[in-house]
Structure 1
Amino acid sequence: MLEDRVLFIDGEAIVIDKPAGLAVDRPRDGSPSAESMLEDLTFGFQRLPQIVHRIDRDTSGCLLLSRNPKAHKRFHQAFEAGEVTKRYFAILDGVPEEDSGTVDLALSKTSSAANGWRMRGDPKGKAARTRWKVLERQAHRALVSFYPETGRTHQIRVHAAEGMGIPIMGDPVYGAGGPAMMLHAVSLVMPRAGKNDVIAEAPWPERFAEAGFDRG
């Protein structure tokens, strides 16, 4: 129940901890989605909240919703202007040699009848930039913090796989796949003029602990 996963709420905004496996938009197959559950997040308002941005179905963590049209417009503009601070945790299927770095790799969409669509590095694509920092190393995997400075589709996933040469553990498109993709939107900060910022932090995901990285 999404009402039990609220990380932040006031008159303008709600941030929920979206579970991995739940799509944001309504899928064609009619399976559950955050969009289909918005009635659970009215909290006394007659108007349904609106989803401000998207994270992948298999990614868990902070998802921002607006509670009125004016706030929705401002929040959307803040995302477009790159004013929102986002942080992700990921477990990589390998260990970076360096402790930190930046991937500056433009992205474009490609598709084929055999493999469907995906994103790829493309000098002629849309600019995309992600900073990263290693938090913990194990024998064959690493826990990494990602700070996307742009908001392209699958940005962190492609920047890990192509830009760093090490895909995210469990990624079914850019990596080897597996039971779960290890990508978590841990925090979000939305600046607001004249009001306190929207600040939310999602709890440590259980699947990360089960994979051997427990910071809960």
Structure 2
Amino acid sequence: MSESHNERAGLPGLTAEQIQARVLYRDGLMLVIDKPAGLPVHRGPKGGANLEASFDALRFGLPRPPVLAHRLARATTGCRVVGRHRQAPAGRGRVLKPGRISKIYWAAVEGGPAEDEGTVDMPLGRLNDERGWWQKPDPDGQTAVTTWKVMGRGDGLTWLALEPVTGRTHQLRVHSAAMGWPIVGDNIYGNGPRFGQPTLHLHAREIAIPISKNKQPVRVTAPAPAHLHERLRACGWNGE
């Protein structure tokens, strides 16, 4: 059986037009894409669907497909920046760094903080050699800072806006779990299942990218994905 266009594109069930519909912002140097849940950014060692495989459908007239500019974990949805040509990420690299680019994530967490806003300043290090990309709180690790604000509360849940000041691997997930309010669906640091539902409730809601000294940053917002709706509404979200 020959593979379908969607399988070649790397996004099961999505046509090229649907992939293009996920573009939230486009200029001459970059795109911001609304990444779906469960799709890895890169091709894994065993192959399979991945976001990068769909980039050929995102040329928009250029001779080559776009290239990756920053990371976003497989389970995380929302704003994802790609450069429109190979020189673009190098030029944008100066702004795609903590302290320059601003990112706000929405999360539904179990329980929640007593306060309405605050900061987590908790260094992180590798969990062990076998799971080199898993993290843990480590006083001798790398500096990791997250600011947070309560957007709403529900029955046993809290809707948080999380802003990573630093950009460590799994920072928001480890910080939330270590504070006693793990993100819903987190199957590594929280109480989520190893397989099945619920999907991780962490969404890259907004990204602000400074493009020049004389202009306001480009601000892009990604709509909340369907798997977050029920719990966000339980916390007072009105659907916007």
Q: How many percent identity over aligned positions?
A: 40
CA distance in 1, matches of 2:141, 2:113: 26
Provide the alpha-carbon RMSD of the alignment: 1.7
Give matches, 1:113-152, under 5 Å.
117-152=133-168
CA-CA distance at 1:29 after TM superposition? 2.6
Runs of 5+ consecutive residues of structure 1 not aligned to the other structure: none
CA distance in 1, matches of 2:96, 2:125: 19
Pairs aligned (count): 214
Find the residue that maps to 2:203 and give its secondary structure: strand
1:177-205 deviation digits (Å, cap 9, x = unpaired): 14100000001011011566332100122
1:1-34 deviation digits (Å, cap 9, x = unpaired): 4211000001111000000111111122312111
- The answer to whether the 8 A contact 1:102-1:131 is kept is yes
CA distance in 1, matches of 2:82, 2:186: 26
What does residue 84 of structure 1 align with? Answer: 101
- Bigger drift between 118-127 and 74-83 goes to 74-83
CA distance in 1, matches of 2:38, 2:133: 19
Alignment of 1:156 with 2:160, yes or no, is no
Q: 1:215 to 1:25 in 2, by over 3 A?
A: farther
Q: Determine which structure has the larger strand proportion and give its number.
A: 1
One-letter identity of the residue aligned with 1:215: N
Work out which of the residue numbers 171, 182, 205 in structure 1 matches 2:201. Answer: 182
Alignment of 1:211 with 2:231, yes or no, is yes
CA-CA distance at 1:210 after TM superposition? 2.6
- The answer to whether the 8 A contact 2:99-2:165 is kept is yes
1:69-128 deviation digits (Å, cap 9, x = unpaired): 332113222223520000000000112111111001111112365x77510111111111
Give matches, 1:1-216, under 5 Å.
1-80=18-97, 82-111=99-128, 117-162=133-178, 164-178=179-193, 179=197, 180-193=199-212, 197-213=217-233, 214-216=237-239
CA-CA distance at 1:165 after TM superposition? 1.7
- The answer to whether the 8 A contact 2:107-2:203 is kept is yes
What does residue 12 of structure 2 align with? Answer: none
- Bigger drift between 31-40 and 128-137 goes to 31-40
CA-CA distance at 1:47 after TM superposition? 2.0
Runs of 5+ consecutive residues of structure 2 not aligned to the other structure: 1-17
One-letter identity of the residue aligned with 2:223: P
Flag the structure with larger Rg. Answer: 2
1:122-159 deviation digits (Å, cap 9, x = unpaired): 11111111000011111201000001111110010011
One-letter identity of the residue aligned with 2:211: R
One-letter identity of the residue aligned with 1:192: I
CA distance in 1, matches of 2:216, 2:129: 46
Find the residue that maps to 2:55 and give its secondary structure: helix
- Bigger drift between 195-204 and 139-148 goes to 195-204
CA distance in 2, matches of 1:98, 1:51: 37
TM-score by length of structure 2 reads: 0.83
